[in-house]
Structure 1
Amino acid sequence: MILHGLEVEQVRRFADPVRLAGLGPGLNLLGAPNESGKSTLLAALRAVFLLQHGSKSRPIADLQPYGGKGAPRIAVDFTVDGTMWRLEKRFLHRPFAQLSGDGATFQGDAAEARLHALIGVESGKRGTEALGLMNALWVGQGHSLAQPDFSDPARTTLRACLESDLGAMTGGEAAERILARVLADLSVLLDGRGNPKGRYRAAIEGEQAASDELARLQTRRQVLEDDLQAMADLRRRLAREDDSDRREKEREHLAEARRQRDRLRDHDARHRAARAALDHATARLAAVRQDVARRAEWRQALDAQSARRADLAEALAAARAAHDAAQTAQAARMRAVQDADAHRLSARRALDRATRRVERTRLEQERRDAAASLDRLDQAAQAVTRAAARLSACTVDEARMTAIRQAARAVQAARAASQAQATMLDVVLEGTGAGRLKLDGRVLGSGRVQVTDTARLHIAGIGTVSIEPASHDRERLRADAARADHALRQALDAAGCVDPDAAEAALAERRQADLAFQAAQTTLAGLLVAADRSPAAAMTEGRRRLAELEARIARHGDEDGNPAAGQDPAEALERASDAMQAAEDRHAAANQALFAPDETLRLAAAELGRLEGDHRLAQDAASRLTHDLAAARAAESDDALSARLAAEDAAMREAGQALHRIEETRPDGTEALADAAIQRLERAIQDGSARLAALKQDMAAREARIRAAEGDGLDERIAAQDRLRDSHAAERAACAREVAILHCLRDAVAGAARAATERYLAPLSRAIQPALAALFPRAVATVDPDFRVSGLTRRVGEPFENLSDGTREQIAVLVRLGLAELLRARGRPAMLVLDDALTWSDAGRLDRMFDILADAATRVQVLILTCRTELFTGLGARALTIESATPS
């Protein structure tokens, strides 16, 4: 079986259609990070092959896309025995199944049945996967550590070749009849789960019921014996609880505890009253002491304020004298500052006049520059106009010159063609023949003459000779020459030239005019302030600027008049600046001189104000203290206050002594302990009464049970149940012996079957052994009848459960490879899928596992899904990708 394509839509994270691209025979590797959908693709593969399309079970619901409802759709392309098939299923919403291949198409349940027949699986229970070996060969994430857990159809598939060997080992039909008889007899005594039934179960249940009844009767007898023993104990306890002397002592103890509590409460009340009296006396004494301390503080404060007021009066007189001296000095310096300020104002006016003169000079220079610029702009514009006029006057341009040249070449070509067919006349004159030969009236000299048309040669004194050229195209050549001459003449007339040389001269003149025009334009463009401004606008702006400068110059002339002849405005400005700087320095010096006295005056005024305020505050404080002290003495004299202090002190000492005497007479214990003792004694009396009543009630109940048990014949009933139990036990033992005999017969036949099974397991062992030896040299695997490796023998035998995780995972992969080899050898479909397997392998074993997988992939298709792509780079597998299947 070869998987060629897998396409999913609306499956978990794949809401849009995607396909697993690149699948083919041999080794296939899908390496992708976590959360990229590898396990989802394996779940989709299991669903499309092993789940019914109409199911709505939990495995189907888990296929729905994240974040919403959807209808999962899965399609696969695969080959079985060389035949190409396509399977497509949709689940949940409008489910369908379609299987196409081998010239037929199956729908719905028919497609499911045909699919199961193709891949060798059986339908499972409703909503579960189909059963077969394919489940064991598709290993999901986290399941590679465990060996496959086979279903019954998978075991049936593996044992399909066992039947013939089993018949030979067990005697054929006779053994089958014996085994059937043994199983039938066992079915009378045991049910399908090996539990007793029928008479065997009745014997066991009867024995158990008799034993239970016997145990119950013996329990009742033991209860009777316990009741008899308890009655004696109850009588002793009842005599103790019903002792009147003990109860009287308990009541006396309770009364004494209550009296002790009353004494403690009375002492606490007297103690609280004494403590309150002491606290009150302490508070009154503190109040008197506070009044005494306050009156002493007032006297001290009044003395201090009187001394301070005298000191402040002296300081105030000195401060007033200093303030008056500072005011006199300040007035003198203020006049100096006013004089310096007037001098600075005069220097500022002179500097402003000099500045305006310099500004007028600058404006006049700007006016001259603006006038010169306007003249240059005007001259450049006129030059452009003249150059443009000169250029427009030229009648010959490149196009006309090209036409003239073409026409001249055509004339030359026509003449050359005519001359090529002309009659050549060589003239050699002797001494007396000069002037005697005339060709069409033209005197000939010695040399060669071309005759292109009919000509007449006159020889003086001899006669006339007619010359006719021998050309047959003479008329055509003559017409061509005439047309060429006419075209040349028209081109020359259009250009206003008499011949091509004049046209060439006119073209050269045009080129010079064009260069002059471009130079004039360049000059004009350089004079324009903005590249997009026209010359007219620039000249208008220049005239406006010139008028503005003249107006500004006129205003300066009106304000200041013309400067003196020969006086440089810049030098006048420099002298005015120096004078202004000197005035500024004089003004700054005067201000600086003013600042120190002003600070002195300010400090003197501040000190004077501060001292006046302090003097007023001292007077007010002294007046207030005098008033408070007089009021206090009026209310209570100093002697009365001292007497009250002594009385309150004596009252506090007396209250303290009274509290001390009360504390010395405190009874032992606490009120809480007295309450606890009272509660304990009350509870003991109450519990004694309750125990007495309960003992009497318990004695009555036990007496009733004893009388009932003595009249029930317990010993006779116990003997009867003992005999019944023994009879049921004998029947149970007989059934057990019969079951043991039948088991022995069954095990003998089953032993022969196991021997055949072990012989059948040899191919699986042989399939695992080479790869096992590659991983573990000289190791031998033990395969049990359940087709699982139960142990590994190297130097010693090791159970499979005791091996490391990595070794168990590698053996589990090898077992699945062996199963795939067995299926392939029997002509059944097989394909191995491993999701995140071999994660526990070290580097050396991983390379050997790569070799084993590569060898197995030459016979069965292997698909590996992993998030550790870098570890599988040495596998040499076909790289798969997850691509969008949405039509572009």
Structure 2
Amino acid sequence: MILRGLEVEQVRRFGDAVRLTGLGPGINLLGAPNEFGKSTLLAALRAVFLLAHGSKAGPVAALQPYGGRGAPRIAVDFTLDGCDWRLEKRFMQRAFARLEGGSERLDGDAAEARLHDLLGVEAGRRGTEAMGLLNALWVTQGHSLVQPDFSDPARATIRSCLEADLDAMTGGDAAGRVLSRVDADLAVLVDKRDNPRGRFRAAKEGEQEAAAELARLDGRRQALEDDLSAMADLRRRLAHEDDADRREKERADLAEAGRVRDRLRDYDARYRTARAVRDHAAAQLVAVRQDLAARAAWESDLAIGVARIAELDAALGAAQAAQDAAAAAHAGRLEAVQVADAARRAAREALDRAAGRVERARLTHERREAAAALDRLEQAAQAVTRARAELDACAIDDARMGTIRKAERALDAARAAGRAQATTLDVALADGARGRLMLDGQALEDGRIVVTDNAVLRIEGIGTITIAPASHGRDALRAELVRAEEGLRRALEAAGCVDVAGAEAALAVRRRTELVFQAAQTVLGGLLAAAGQVPATATEAARQRLADLDVRIARIGEAEADGAAGDPLELLDAAREAMQVAEDAYEAAHRALLAPDGTMRRAADELARLRAEAQVARDGVAQLARDLEAARAVEADDALSARLAASLDAAGMAEQALLRIEETRPDGTEALADAAILRLERTIQDGHARLAALRQEMAAREARIRAAEGDGLDERIAAQERLRAAHAAEDAACEREVAILKCLRDAVAAAERAATERYLAPLARAVQPALSALFPRAVATVEPDFSISALSRRIDEPFATLSDGTREQIAVLARLGLADLMRARGRPAMLVLDDALTYADSGRLDRMFDILTEASGRMQILILTCRTELFTGLGARRLAVEPVGGQDRSAG
């Protein structure tokens, strides 16, 4: 089977019709980026071959264009068994199917049935794909990692072949009866999960119950022996716990621990009191020392403040003198600046007058140019107006002339049609015969006469001849001639012309007028381009410009009526020089003013700073004096000294008392004493509890021993051992019977497996060469469902445990084997891989390329990929997707 072309329209992303071109035998490669539509093309290929055209189920609806409804149309050209076929289907709206090939053309369900017969597939149910081995060879994106899943018809074929081989090996119906009897006997002893049932289960459960009871009795006997052994140990421990001397010593130790804790608590109370007295005396001493230090600091700060006030008073006098000198210098320089400023203003007025005279001259020149521009604009506008009037006066234009020429051609055509059926008379008069030959009452002259209507030729002295031209369509031709003459007349009247020549002359006059109008418009457009306005606006703007210039000239004239005579530019230069001199003088006076001003400001700032600082110093000295006086009023200096001596004595005595108390510190700590008391109390309490527990445990064990001795344990144990042996014998018998039945069943199963392996041998032989090329010395295990379950290299490796790349490569090889098997049985086979071999390393990929190249000599292979660079070494035929022309593609 060779695919030669695929055309899709209104399929998912392909709205307009496109065609997959370049297809041929061997390996075909379509390399394109993601979202190009490669998977859509494969879906279209599966749909046209495997989906019914009348279905509207999910797989068909999924073919509709993105973002709207549509009618997917798919056409495919292919060659099968040397015959060329074309298959076309449209789905959803106005659905149809058409199959053409050889001498056949089938439509609708007949085309579907013939297609299924060609491909060897069975129709699917409820809109699903047709079922057959061909589905497994067209691998969609993401399914190259898994092996093909066969439909029920394929599995039924496999089962029928296996059953036929098994009958041949086992004797047919006899093997079936044996298997039935084996299964029935096994069903009595085991269930479908191979679990015991019936008497087999009863034997196992009885043995387990006897063993459990025997274990329970053995446990009771062991417990009795444990109780007897434990009683001796309990008596020894009870004698130890019930010792009166040991309990008396524990109570004496607890009393001594209480006395130690009391001594420690008394010492802690005395020590805390002495330390508090010492801390209080130390705090009093610190307070006295702080008061003495504060009073000394106040006296030192007061002396420093008084000295600082004296220094500031001297600095204030010097600063006042400097400020007075700076003020006098500043007054002189300020007067010089005022004089220079008056001279500068006078120079500025003179410069303004000179500039006014220059501006008047410039405006006068600008007015002359504006007046000339206004004249040119008015003349150009008048020329355009005149040309437009002359153009409007022309009654004819190209459209009317075209109508006249068309009417003239129609008249010529009508006349030519009339002449084609007219009768032609060639007249040659003899000497003296002029005036004797009359046609419809008019004398004829030498020459050719065309007669288009019935006419009477009279020959003087001889008679008359009636001429009747051919009458076929003559009335229609005459009517057409009249219509053509009337049309030409109306066209000439509309143009105001008498004939066609006059119309041509009038058109020539119009074209000359148009040239003159265009030239005038060009001149006017050039004048308006700078202004960017229409003629009326531009003219008004020019006139307004003249009026504005007149007003500005008049103003300057009024201001400079008394101006000096001379060249305005020379006067302006002289005024500028005078202005520069005045500016320089002003700048010099101003610079001279700035330096004294800075000195005066600095003197004023320094004077203000000294005054403020002196005031702050005086306020600080006064505050210090008040604070010192207030402190002495509260406590005199002598009293403060006496308080210091008393605080020193009190602190010394408190420290000595604390040292004496520390010398009497007992050993240990209160926490350790508490812990010793707690430990001894718990020891006494635990001794009482242990004594009570030991007595209770001894009583319990004595009761169990008496009960066990009277229960007959040995006799009961012997009886349970006999019961367990009986159940074990029954269990062994059932195990042997089940083993015999399973052995018989396994023998039949072995025969079945041999038949299966013989049936699968063609597929194994088809897959093995390619598998050996990719995995040297490897052998594949093929299951009855045509899947490869394991790969045997050094060890058996289940298919599910292999890497993604290896599983993908094996899945491709399995499909190649299936394709060869289908070809051997005369079935159509073609392999399609969508984004496959993406997990292969470079070495494996090259070997897969060699395998595919070898297989392409037997079948067509189509590869769709978004990784074109990986497949450059494949040497495949490159495919392209091209738009289809606009021919009609609808069904008949």
TM-score bin, normalised by smaller chain: 0.5 to 0.7
Question: May I ask how many residue pairs the two structures share in their alignment?
Answer: 744
Asked whether the equivalents of residues 8 and 14 of structure 2 are also in contact (C-alpha less than 8 Å), the reply is no
Alpha carbons 1:137, 1:831 under 8 Å: kept: yes
1:191 paired to 2:186: no
Task: Report if the CA contact (8 A) 2:760-2:782 is conserved.
Answer: yes
Q: Does the CA-based 8 Å contact 1:391-1:513 persist in structure 2? A: no
Q: How does 1:740-759 map to 2 (within 5 A)?
A: 740-759=739-758
Q: What's the CA shift string for 1:752-809, capped at 9, x where partnerless?
A: 4444444334323222223234334565556578866677677x67656797764555
Aligned to 1:206: 206
SS in 2 for 1:712: coil
SS of structure 2 residue aligned to 1:347: helix
Q: Provide the secondary structure at the position in 2 that maps to 1:561.
A: coil
Q: 1:143, CA displacement in angstroms?
A: 7.4
Who is 1:643 aligned against?
642
Deviation at 1:214, TM superposition (A): 0.9
Q: What are the Cα deviations for residues 222-271 of structure 1, in whole angstroms up to 9, with x where unaligned?
A: 11111222222223233333334333433444444444444444444444
Once residues 254 and 8 of structure 1 are traced to their aligned partners in structure 2, the CA distance between those partners, rounded to angstroms, is 106
The 1:259–1:364 alpha-carbon spacing in structure 2 relative to 1, beyond 3 Å, is same
Equivalent pair of 1:775/1:845 in contact (CA under 8 Å)? yes
Of the structure 1 ranges 637-646 and 147-156, higher mean CA displacement relative to structure 2 is found in 147-156
Give the 3 Å change call, closer, same or farther, for CA 278–160 of structure 1 in structure 2.
farther
What amino acid is the match of 1:287? A
The Cα of 1:221 is off from its aligned counterpart by 0.9
1:824-850 Cα offsets, whole Å, 9 max, x none, are 766889887767653443334334434
Q: How does 1:336-355 map to 2 (within 5 A)?
A: 336-355=336-355
Q: Is the 1:5–1:77 Cα contact (8 Å) retained in structure 2? A: yes
Alignment of 1:63-462 (within 5 A): 101-102=109-110, 119=122, 157-366=157-366
Change (3 A) 1:821 1:869: same
Q: Distance in 2 between matches of 1:701 and 1:858?
A: 94
The answer to whether structure 1 residue 764 and structure 2 residue 763 are counterparts is: yes
Superposition pairs of residues 624-643 of structure 1, within 5 angstroms: 624-643=623-642
Output the amino acid matched with 1:223.
A
Tell me: CA distance 1:513–1:858, structure 2 relative to 1, closer, same or farther (3 Å): closer
Whole-angstrom distance in 1 between the partners of 2:389 and 2:202 = 143
1:578 Cα deviation from its structure 2 partner = 2.7
Task: Label 1:141 to 1:83 Cα distance change in 2 as closer, same or farther (>3 A).
Answer: closer
2:690 paired with 1:715? no
- Alignment-derived partner of residue 597 in structure 1: 596
Q: What is the CA distance between 1:299 and its match in structure 2? A: 1.6
Alpha carbons of structure 1 residues 776 and 22: separation in structure 2 relative to 1, 3 Å: same
C-alpha separation between the residues in 1 aligned to 2:610 and 2:241? 101
Residues in 2 aligned to 1:266 and 1:219: alpha-carbon distance in whole angstroms:
63
Q: For the residues of structure 2 that align with 1:76 and 1:527, how far apart are their CA atoms? A: 65
**How much does 1:147 deviate?**
6.6
Specify the code of the residue in structure 2 equivalent to 1:299. Answer: E
Which piece of structure 1 moves more, 570-579 or 202-211?
Answer: 570-579
**Gap change, CA 1:882 and 1:620, over 3 Å in 2:** farther
Q: TM-score, normalised by structure 1?
A: 0.66
Aligned partners of 2:238 and 2:695 also within 8 Å: yes
Which residue does 2:100 correspond to in 1? none
Moved more, 678-687 or 302-311: 678-687
Contact 1:9 1:74 in 2 (8 A): yes
Q: Which amino acid aligns with 2:166?
A: L
C-alpha deviation, 1:330, in angstroms: 2.3
Contact 2:231–2:698 at 8 Å: present in 1 too? yes
TM-score by length of 2: 0.66
Aligned-pair identity (%):
60
Please give the alpha-carbon distance, in whole angstroms, between the structure 2 residues aligned to 1:474 and 1:2. Answer: 76
User: Counterparts of 1:151 and 1:513 in 2: how far apart (Å)?
Assistant: 85
Q: Do the aligned residues in 1 keep the contact of 2:140 with 2:834 (CA within 8 Å)? A: yes
CA distance in 2, matches of 1:288, 1:671: 38
Q: Is contact 1:85–1:101 with CA below 8 Å preserved after alignment?
A: no
Task: Tell me, yes or no, if the aligned pair for 2:44 and 2:74 is still in contact at 8 Å.
Answer: no
Measured against aligned partners, the alpha-carbon deviations of 1:298-323 in whole angstroms (never above 9, x if no partner) come to 12112212222222222222222222
> 2:684: which partner in 1?
685
C-alpha offsets along residues 586-645 of structure 1, whole Å, 9 cap, x if unaligned?
Answer: 222222222222222222222222222222222222222222222222322223222322
Q: Which residues in structure 2 correspond to 1:810-821 (within 5 Å)?
A: 810-819=809-818
C-alpha spacing 1:843/1:286, structure 2 compared with 1 (3 Å): same
Is the aligned partner of 1:611 residue 2:614? Answer: no
CA distance in 1, matches of 2:545, 2:160: 117
Does structure 2 conserve the Cα–Cα contact (< 8 Å) formed by 1:387 and 1:517?
no
Name whichever of 40-49 and 641-650 sits farther off. Answer: 40-49
Supply the distance in 2 between the matched residues of 1:811 and 1:547 (Cα, whole angstroms).
100
Change (3 A) 1:336 1:842: closer
For residues 6-64 of structure 1, the C-alpha deviation after alignment (integer angstroms, 9 at most, x for no partner) is 99999xxx89999999699997878777799999999999999999xxxxxxxx99x99
Residue segments in structure 2 that go unaligned for 5+ positions in a row: 52-57, 64-68, 93-107, 402-433, 435-443, 451-495, 498-504, 884-888
CA distance in structure 1 between the partners assigned to 2:512 and 2:139 by the alignment: 92
**Cα 1:709–1:611 shift into 2, 3 Å:** same
1:710 CA drift (Å): 1.6
Q: Does 1:697 align with 2:696?
A: yes
User: Which is higher, the Rg of structure 1 or of structure 2?
Assistant: 1
How far off is 1:217 after superposition?
0.9
Contact 1:22 1:878 in 2 (8 A): no
Aligned equivalents of 2:529, 2:826: Cα separation in 1:
99
Deviations 1:856-886 (A, max 9, x none): 6788897877664543563848979999xxx
Local SS of the residue matching 2:160: coil
* Cα distance change, pair 227–353 in 1 and its aligned pair in 2 (3 A): same
> 1: distance between equivalents of 2:520 and 2:151?
104
Give the partner amino acid of 1:161: C
Contact 2:380–2:523 (CA under 8 A) maintained in structure 1: no
Matches within 5 A, 1:858-873: 868=867, 870-872=869-871
Consecutive unaligned residues of structure 1, counting only runs of 5 or more, are 52-59, 66-70, 90-99, 106-113, 403-452, 454-469, 477-493, 496-502
- Change over 3 Å in CA distance of 1:171–1:723 after alignment to 2: same
Task: Label 1:388 to 1:189 Cα distance change in 2 as closer, same or farther (>3 A).
Answer: closer
- Over the aligned positions, Cα root-mean-square deviation in angstroms equals 6.2
Q: Contact 2:121 / 2:130 at 8 angstroms: preserved in 1?
A: no
- Cα distance in 1 for partners of 2:50, 2:244 equals 89
> What SS does the aligned partner of 2:563 have?
coil
> What per-residue deviation string (whole Å, max 9, x for no partner) do you get for residues 642-675 of structure 1?
2322322333343344444444544444444444
- The 3-state SS of whatever aligns with 2:161 is coil
- Determine helix, strand or coil for the equivalent of 2:281: helix
Whether contact under 8 Å (1:271, 1:663) holds in the other structure is yes
Corresponding residue number in structure 2 for 1:843: 842
Q: Distance in 2 between matches of 1:514 and 1:145?
A: 81
SS of aligned partner of 1:162: helix
- Matched-pair contact (CA < 8 Å) for 1:384–1:521: no
Distance 1:655 1:35, change over 3 A: farther
> Which letter maps to 1:345?
R
How far apart are residue 719 of structure 1 and its match?
0.4
Q: Distance in 2 between matches of 1:851 and 1:271?
A: 102
- The AA in structure 2 aligned to 1:292 is L
Structure 1 pair 859–223 and aligned structure 2 pair: CA distance change class (3 A): farther
CA distance in 1, matches of 2:764, 2:634: 125
Partner of 1:440: none
Matched residues in 2 for 1:729 and 1:541: separation? 132
* CA contact 2:388–2:517 (8 Å) conserved in 1: no
* 1:342-383 per-position Cα deviation (integer Å, ceiling 9, x unaligned): 3333333333443444444445555566666677778x5899
> Which shows bigger deviation, 616-625 or 512-521?
512-521
> C-alpha distance in 2, partners of 1:780/1:517?
95
